[in-house]
Amino acid sequence: MNPRKGLVLIVEDDRNIATLQQLYLERDGYGTEIAEDGAAGFDAVLRLAPAAIVLDIGLPGLDGVTFCRRLRERGDWTPVLLVTARGDEADRILGLELGADDYLTKPFSPGELVARVNAVLRRATAAGRPAVPAVHVRGTLRVDPGRRTVHVDGVPVEFTALELDLLDHLLAHRGQVFSRVQLLDQVWGGSAHRDPRVVDVYVSQIRGKLGDASPIRTVRGVGYSATDEDRP
């Protein structure tokens, strides 16, 4: 087939699940490649440079968390959608901390998988944003959502697509307080089937990367806001 929407690498050791994912992704216009273990999947990333990766955490050999860590250590920020079992909460959170863009918990519908892949790719390419998005400058922090860059003191800081979208959203509404559910709806594109605590994970990641330059403050019992002062 001629994949009009790019190649999605499916790293999944259950062949039946992988084949079902492949069927629905290809129906939606994606090309697909299946790898049945982590090592083969990692080789496929290097060989094929996919547009996105659907990555099962519980892989034989090279597990999904280690896979994600190695990928990000290489400076490869291909969008990653984690697939986890219900008991994998700790690994899921660790995967998000390592730079995964979203997750799905088994069992899930193939249609939801396709929707999530579409969403992480939209975020990665900033589709649907204004032609010239506002650049946010706050103290030593500079966030350019159009160029998808973040700098502190002129030094570039690596952000995943979702981390940058969350930071951009808060900075675009400085001083406004958002609940976790509101952020899931407005940044992730929907709160259904998502644990609101995932917002806490991403805020922690952003703060860890920005240090004292982080503009995000916690409003106890409510959610998060970007301060409107030049410095925290």
List, for residues 23-75, the tens digit of each pLDDT value: 999 999 898 999 999 999 999 988 888 889 999 998 988 999 899 888 888 77
CATH 3.40.50.2300 intervals, the chain: 7-125
pLDDT at 87: 66
Share of residues in the chain with pLDDT > 90 (%): 42
pLDDT at 148: 82
Regarding predicted confidence, which is higher, 199 or 107? 199
CA-wise closest residue to 105 among 152, 142, 70, 58:
58
- CATH architecture of structural domain 7-125: 3-Layer(aba) Sandwich (3.40)
pLDDT tens-digit profile of 164-214? Answer: 989 998 998 888 899 999 998 888 876 656 788 899 999 999 999 999 999
Averaged pLDDT of the chain: 85
- CATH 1.10.10.10 describes domain 136-226: yes
The number of beta carbons lying within 10 Å of the beta carbon of residue 1 is: 8
CATH 1.10.10.10 intervals, the chain: 136-226
DSSP string, 37-85: SHHHHHHHHHHH--SEEEEESS-SSS-HHHHHHHHHHTT----EEEEE-
